Amino acid sequence: METFYSKYGGEETISKVVDYFYDLVLADDTVNHFFANTDMEKQRKHQTKFISYALGGPNQYSGQSMAKVHEGMNLQPVHFDAIVSHLRAALTHFGVKESDIEDALTKVESLREDILYK
Ligand code: HEM
Q: What is the pTM of this model?
A: 0.91
Q: pLDDT per residue over 61-88, tens digit each?
A: 888 899 999 999 999 999 999 999 999 9
- Dihedral sign for Cα 34, 43, 49, 18, please: positive
Q: pLDDT per residue over 90-116, tens digit each?
A: 999 999 999 999 999 999 999 999 999
- Nearest-atom index, ligand 1, CA of 46: 15
CA–CA gap between residue 116 and residue 66 (Å, rounded): 10
Annotated binding site for heme: which residue ranges?
Answer: 46, 70
Structural domain boundaries of the chain?
Answer: 8-115
Residue 1's pLDDT is what?
52
pLDDT > 80? residue 4: no
Distance of CA 88 from the midpoint of ligand 1 (Å): 17
Residue 99's pLDDT is what?
94
6-10, 36-40, 42-46, 56-60 — which one is most confidently predicted on average? 36-40
Question: Under CATH, what is the fold of the domain 8-115?
Answer: Globin-like (1.10.490)
Residue 34's pLDDT is what?
95
